[in-house]
Amino acid sequence: MNPQRILEETFGYAEFRGAQREVIDAMVHGQDALVVMPTGGGKSLCYQIPGLALAGTAIVVSPLIALMADQVAALRQLGVRAAFLNSTLDVFEQRAIANDLRSGYLDLLYVAPERLLMAETLELIDGVEIALVAVDEAHCVSAWGHDFRRDYLELARVREHTGAAPWIALTATADERTREDIVANLRLRDARRFVAGFDRHNIHYQVALKAQPMQQLFNFLESRRGEAGIVYCLSRRSVEDTAQKLADAGYDALPYHAGLDAGTRARNQERFLRADGVIVVATVAFGMGIDKPDVRFVVHLDLPKSIEAYYQETGRAGRDGAAAQAYMVYGLQDVVRLSQMVSESDADEDHKRVEQQKLTALLGWCEITSCRRAGLLSYFGDALEGACSGCDVCDAPPVTFDGTEAAQKFLSCVVRTGQRFGAGHIIDVLRGADRPKIHQLGHDALPTYGIGSDISDLRWRSIARQLVAQGYLIADPNRYGALRLTQMCRPLLRGDSALLLREDPAGAAAKRSAKRRTREPAVELDAESAAIFERLRELRKAIADEQNVPPYVIFHDATLREMALLRPQSHAEFLGLGGVGQSKLERFGDRFLEALGES
Ligand code: ADP
Ligand code: ZN
C-alpha cells in the first residue's frame, strides 16, 4: 500500500508533517537515513509507515523498555500487527512472539538493544525477512552525548543479520558531532540526513518573577483544571509542600522525588500516565522516559540548572502537538542557590566553570527583552522561521528604560561596601534604611547611603537581577550570594556606555499569566463543547480501563476536542476526525457516536 493511504486509513491523518514524506520515501527506496526532529515532531511515523509499506518485519530498537508495552498497545488499536521483545516478558510470551516473527505475521517488532544483541535473537532474525531497522533514541550511541549506552555501540554488528534492509536512526537531540557519531557508529550507508529545527511551535513560553510562588501557581492553574501537567521544584521538601497544597485546593496532585520509596514512585507515575488530568509535583528525578503525549503544561517553581535542562523539561509538554504551556517563576535567590550547589559539588574546576556559565546564560534568557522563543532557538544555534507562535515577550513586549544612572549607583554601592554583601543589604544602604546592621558596619556614613531612596525596593531588586543577568555582577556562591563586579562594569561606571533595562510588569504575580495565550491549535472550547469534551473523556477513560491501557492509546486529546466541536453523526464524519483511521472507527466509533447523540 502506498504511504499516503496508510497515513489516512491506518493512522487517520490527512497530511504528512515536515520531512515525514521525504524520510518515508527514502526508506521505501532502501536508503539509510538519520532523522533529527524535536519531540512531538512525528518521528514514529517515519519508520512505522515504511514498516507497513515494505514487505517483511520492521525492527525498532528502543532503550525505553517501560514504554514498549504502551507503544505496542497503541499500534494494535490501529490494527497494526506489532509486538515487543524485552526482559519483562516470560518465556512463553517470548516463544509466542518468536513464532509470530518466524511466520512473517508481524509488521513491527520493538526490541530492547541488549535483547537484540543476544545470540538467540540474532539467530531468530536470520530466518526472517526484515523490512527495515529503526534505531530510536540514537544519540545513545555517542559517547559525546549525555545518555551513552554501551550496547548501542554494538548495534552495528546487527547489520550483518539484516541484509539489504535500510537502517534509520532517530533522535530529538543531536548536535553536529553527535550526528556524525551516530552515522559512523551505526555504520549507516550514504545516510540521508533530515534535521528539523528545535522549535516546539505548540509550546507557549512564559517566565515571571517569583513573588508568591504558590499564589502564582494557583493563578496559572485556575483555568487549567482537569489538565495533566508537571510542576518542577528544586527540593524534596518543596515538592511535598506544593503537592499537599494543591491537593488541599482540590487538584489531583501527586509528589514524585527520589526520596519516596520505589513503590510510591511507581504508583504515582502510573497514575499520572493512566488517569486523566493528574498533576505531578516533582524534582528533576521525574521525567526520564515519560512519554505521555497529553501533558498540557510544565511549570518551574525553581530555576532549572541550564537552558538545556529547561528545554528538555519543558519539552515533556505537548508531545501530541496540541497547545501546551511552559511557565516558570524565578528570582535572584534561585540563582544564588544554584550557584552554591555548583560550587559545593565535587566536580573539577573546569566543569564548575561551565556549569556556572550555563546558569548565567539561563538567567540572561529569563531577562530577555526580545522574543523568548527566538532566544531559546538561538542558544541551540537554530533560527526561528516565520513568526513566533507564542511567548510572553511577543504577547506583551516589555517596556524598557535607561537604567544607566541607577546601575552606576548600585555598582558604586557594591564597591563601597567591599563587594561582600548580597543584593538585600546593598539595597538597604541605597535606600537609607535604618537597620542595626547598617549602623554597626558604619554603612550609614558611606556616600552612597540613601542616594537611592527615590527608587522602590522592588525596583532595585529588579535592577540588581538584571545586572547579574547581563553579566555586570556575579553573585558569589561561596559567599552567600555576595555581589562582585566584573570587567564589564568599567565603561558603564565611566559613563562611556548606557544600559537599557526592562520594566517589570506591575505586580509580579500578574494575573494575566493565568490566561491562555497560545495562538496554536487548541481552539477554545465553548461551554457546551467543553461539557461534551468532559463526557467524551469519561467514556475514553472507561474504555481505557476496560483494556488496561492509558487513555491516549484510545484517542488523543486533540481528537476528543475535535469530536466535541464538530460532533460527527455518521461513520463517514467520524472517520474525518484527525487521528481516526479504519480500525479506530470500527473499534470505538459507535460508542462515541452514541455518547455524542445523547448530548
Ligand atoms: P516524536 O517521536 O517525534 O516525539 P511522535 O511520533 O510521537 O513524535 O508524534 C507526536 C504526535 O504527533 C503523535 O501524537 C502523532 O500521532 C502526531 N502526528 C505525527 N505525525 C502526524 C501527522 N502527519 N499528522 C497529524 N498528527 C501527527
Ligand atoms: Zn516570541
pLDDT of residue 517: 43
- Tell me how crowded residue 482 is: count the other CB atoms within 10 A of its CB: 21
Write the pLDDT tens digit of every residue in 117-133: 999 999 999 999 999 99
pLDDT of residue 379: 85
Nearest ligand, measured from the Cα of 392? 2
By the 10 Å C-beta count (0-12 exposed, 13-18 middle, 19+ buried), 370 is classed as: middle
The alpha carbons of the chain give a radius of gyration, in whole angstroms, of 27
Cell of 546: 476496560
Ligand 1 centroid, distance to 276 Cα (angstroms): 20
Write the pLDDT tens digit of every residue in 61-119: 998 887 888 889 999 999 999 999 988 899 999 999 999 999 999 999 999 999 999 99
Ligand 1 centroid, distance to 320 Cα (angstroms): 6
Q: Which atom of ligand 1 is found nearest the CA of 39?
A: 4
Ligand 1 centroid, distance to 560 Cα (angstroms): 16
Residues of the chain with pLDDT under 70: 145-146, 288-289, 505-523, 599
Ligand 1 centroid, distance to 41 Cα (angstroms): 6
Nearest ligand, measured from the Cα of 200? 1
Cβ pair 179, 195 in contact under 8 A: yes
Q: Distance of alpha carbon 386 from its chain centroid, rounded?
A: 22
pLDDT of residue 221: 96
Nearest CA to ligand 1 atom 14: 320
Write the pLDDT tens digit of every residue in 18-55: 899 999 999 999 999 999 998 888 999 999 999 999 99
Q: Which residues pair with 330 in a beta bridge?
A: 209
Task: Decide whether any atom of ligand 1 lies within 6 Å of the 581 Cβ.
Answer: no
Cβ pair 253, 243 in contact under 8 A: yes
- Site to probe by mutation for ligand 1, drawn from 45, 139, 201, 577 as the one with most ligand atoms within 8 Å of Cβ, is 45
Q: What does pTM read for this prediction?
A: 0.76
Ligand 1 centroid, distance to 228 Cα (angstroms): 19
pLDDT of residue 408: 95
Whole-number Å distance between alpha carbons of 77 and 325: 29
Task: Render 5-45 in DSSP notation, one character per residue.
Answer: HHHHHTT--SS--TTHHHHHHHHHTT--EEEE--TTS-HHH
- Site to probe by mutation for ligand 1, drawn from 4, 5, 11, 552 as the one with most ligand atoms within 8 Å of Cβ, is 11
| CA separation, residue 184 to residues 52, 177, 178, 190 (Å) | 27, 11, 10, 11
Ligand 2 centroid, distance to 389 Cα (angstroms): 7
Residue closest to 519 by CA, chosen among 391, 396, 386: 391
Ligand 2 centroid, distance to 244 Cα (angstroms): 34
DSSP H helical segments within 281-435, as ranges? 307-314, 332-344, 349-366, 372-379, 392-395, 404-416, 423-430
pLDDT of residue 519: 40
Residue closest to 309 by CA, chosen among 481, 549, 146, 544: 146
pLDDT of residue 470: 84
Cβ pair 577, 591 in contact under 8 A: no
Task: Decide whether any atom of ligand 1 lies within 6 Å of the 321 Cβ.
Answer: yes
Whole-number Å distance between alpha carbons of 146 and 171: 13
Cβ pair 565, 517 in contact under 8 A: no
Task: Decide whether any atom of ligand 1 lies within 6 Å of the 16 Cβ.
Answer: yes
Cβ pair 300, 328 in contact under 8 A: yes
pLDDT of residue 289: 64
